[in-house]
Amino acid sequence: MKKYFIALSFILITCAVSAQNNKAMKWLNEPKKWEGNAQKLTMTVDPGTDYWRITHYGFIRDSGPFYFEEAEGNFEASVKITGNYQELFHQAGLMVRIDNKNWIKTGIEYVDGVQNVSAVVTREVSDWSVVPRTDSPRSIWLKLLRKGDYVEIRYSFDNKDFKMLRLAYFPPNVKAEIGIVAAAPGKLNFPVVFEDFVVKKVE
């Protein structure tokens, strides 16, 4: 009987993990070349893609590949990103989004030959903040916490020491899309790998 309950517990845990790992994820602006899933997704980001809204540049872009699931309430999303950034504004990270006028993206953005830890907060119009790196970290780990009426973004280069990048308002009590995002606004595409994308509920 004891062996039966142990076996049953193992099956239930396995099913729970499987369900967690196979949540229905969708594409917005699916890239031409990609493979994998939330545990490891490799894509080649198509050129001429971006996310931005009005400020400074005067244009609206809503064309980057975004692989997401829907979530309600409070949650934390995390991911590891390894990208081959080559051209101005190559970028990859996490995005939380309600619609094309309300979203936050964060991750690495390549500017003037330097990787920048970046966040863009958009509420009708976009703003942008960066932390430049003098080195070129191979990978970055991101955590995005949505809680109440705010989003908190933290980042790490060793998956141990996480620093806060941004605390920003985000509309509460509304379903959002949360997932991995990338863009290549220029003429060159670039390959990027996302690993261990997880969304978990928090109190």
Q: Encode pLDDT of 81-111 as tens digits.
A: 999 999 999 999 999 999 999 999 999 999 9
**CA pair distance 3, 118, nearest whole angstrom:** 51
Arithmetic mean of pLDDT, 31-42: 98
Q: What pairing do the DSSP bridges indicate for beta strands 190-201 and 114-123?
A: unpaired
Domain architecture of the chain: domains with CATH: 25-201 (2.60.120.200)
For residues 4 and 102, give the distance between their C-alpha atoms in angstroms, rounded to a whole number.
50
Query: What tokens were used for 12?
Result: 């239930």
The model's pTM: 0.88
